[in-house]
Chains A and B, each alone.
Chain A
Amino acid sequence: MPKQIDRDEVRRLLDGGAQLAEVLPSPEYEEDHLPGALHLPLRHVEERAADLLERSRQIVVYCWDAA
């Protein structure tokens, strides 16, 4: 079950080497994304995840907000 985390936990995980992925569509990612975030749009998770992400590392995903 994916774990819900806050900003402090995101920073802690990133400091520990976690991967970060934004799941919003292209324009939003290109305008602003968190430093170092990969682009993994929700609609392309199935086809791109295996190439973009390492299974052995923690993965943090985010979109715009909780809405």
Chain B
Amino acid sequence: MSPRAAWRLESLGFGDVYDYVAGKLDWMAAGLPTEGTNAQRPRAADVARKDVPLCGLKERLGDVRDRVRAQGWDAAVVVNEDRVVLGLLRTAELEKDPAQLIEQAMRPGPSTFRPFVSIHEMGHFMVEHKLENAPITTSDGRLVGLLLKQDVVSQPADVS
């Protein structure tokens, strides 16, 4: 749609026209702000826990488990130095052999969700798929935070 609008503007005599082809989806997936009626409603990025424990591929599971539990968590996100999500440690993974490296123990390639998805939508999905938590990432895979089901279901219902 935007290419047609750009061409039409040029034909109407507007000389310096640019087409942001990736559009609003790309903008919102990068976690950038928007204006409008939906901007006031909570989204995945608003509710996701930003203080989720992080770890790297080469750490030992036992060390990570101790650290994670000491922080009161039962999950951790495996990231690289650019905070790109590589894996997830949920309760089952944290219970594995403590001598394993994280890259052996982790759940690789977890499903991730974009920051702009509404909490209402996330709640339905997490309940339907029995997800206790879900990583929220930008479109380039960088971690925004970990969304917990308990936080999602405690949000007020969307009245619209």
Contacts and interface: CB of A to CB of B under 8 A. Distances in A.
Contacts of A13: 18
A3 B6 CA distance: 9
B11 to A, nearest CB: 9
B144 to A, nearest CB: 16
A32 B33 CA distance: 9
Given A2-B3, A45-B8, A59 B18 contact: yes
B10 interface: yes
A61 B9 contact: yes
A22 B61 CA distance: 48
B24 A22 contact: yes
A6 B2 contact: no
A65 interface: yes
Given A32-B39, A45-B8, A64 B23 contact: yes
A34 B24 contact: yes
A3 B33 CA distance: 24
Interface in B1-49: 1-10, 12-28, 30, 32-39
Nearest to A54: B14
Interface of A: 1-7, 9-10, 13, 18, 21-24, 29-37, 40, 42, 45-46, 49-50, 53, 55, 57-66
Given A45-B12, A61-B20, A62-B2, 11 more contacts: A2-B7, A13-B18, A32-B38, A32-B116, A33-B36, A34-B27, A34-B32, A34-B35, A35-B35, A58-B18, A59-B18
